[in-house]
Structure 1
């Protein structure tokens, strides 16, 4: 099919390629009252947390789908709820990177290169192993978020500090508590 050179044509201009207008790992200047150093540091730290959060979201969805056993229903619902909360964090963290003038990590292949969360087996593990894997991922993110929050506070980036403390850390701690309580060794029914 021939395309028209008419500028009012409704034919989409497909298969376009273009040069990069901003490299990953750079920040552009926005009038935010923050130094270049503060914005660059925050974007680097946030992108690492973003990568791990995207992996944690994926783990939640995987474990939600393959959950087994007598607590299937409760855990199936809980893991899906937690996945939704992690997905909200992914968007919030990515938007903060963009707000600071950076480039948010979005390609799953790039996420896999940057994440510190170990890859799970392709198959199905026992429920306690799945929950332990989620707890370990949470702890990894929480350690990084606590350190990043302290450093961003030192650099005067109150917005990033607030996001890390009030959303990433508080959500992670609460979800960890809910998961850990499922690993307490108590009988389902007492005689």
Structure 2
């Protein structure tokens, strides 16, 4: 058995989830912490977007309903990528709703009724805040030479900026 095969076997036997990586341990810990926050915020934004999608009303219902459904699908898609990135670099990720609540920075909205324009405005603001958080994470991943996470973040930033742009223009149009 080779030394690397032995290391993988030892990891399995110890029941740890430390996937081998060439990134420095200090960097991995810092990046994984940021990814937990980012994943929690992404779940919060996903749920809020679906909430507003489900509870949309008014004369522009169909347009807003479809826009928010498209946004929610896009947001949900990156949740798996964020979590898997943390695992690829040798760390764990969120385990529960309690973890999401612990790590989230974006605010929930549990109001029984939110006016459509307020929904769009809040989602615009949240997407802009998510862009800010992603840029901060990008700085950390760049500092630790985590090229793969940095590259993913660039795509996610572009997607969030696009969502914010569509929400902004939709608000201006109505």
TM-score interval, smaller chain: 0.7 to 0.9
Q: CA RMSD in A?
A: 1.7
Unpaired segments ≥5 residues, structure 1: 1-20, 187-191
How many angstroms apart in 2 are the aligned matches of 1:45 and 1:126?
Answer: 33
What is the TM-score normalised by the length of structure 1? 0.79
**Residue equivalent to 1:183:** 171
Unpaired segments ≥5 residues, structure 2: 1-14
**Residue equivalent to 1:58:** 47
Structure 1 residues 92-103: aligned runs within 5 Å: 92-103=81-92
For CA contacts below 8 A with separation 6 or more, give which structure has more relative contact order.
2
1:53-90 CA-partner distances (Å, limit 9, x unpaired): 00000011100000011110011111011101111110
Moved segments of 4+, more than 2 Å: none
**Residue equivalent to 1:134:** 123
Q: Indicate the larger mover: 116-125 or 45-54.
A: 116-125
Pairing partner for 2:114 from 117, 120, 125: 125
Pairing partner for 1:76 from 59, 65, 74: 65
Pairing partner for 2:138 from 149, 160, 166: 149
Q: Quick check: 2:19–2:91 contact (8 Å CA) kept in 1?
A: no
Q: How many residues get paired?
A: 161
How many angstroms apart in 1 are the aligned matches of 2:80 and 2:128?
Answer: 20
Pairing partner for 2:77 from 85, 88, 105: 88
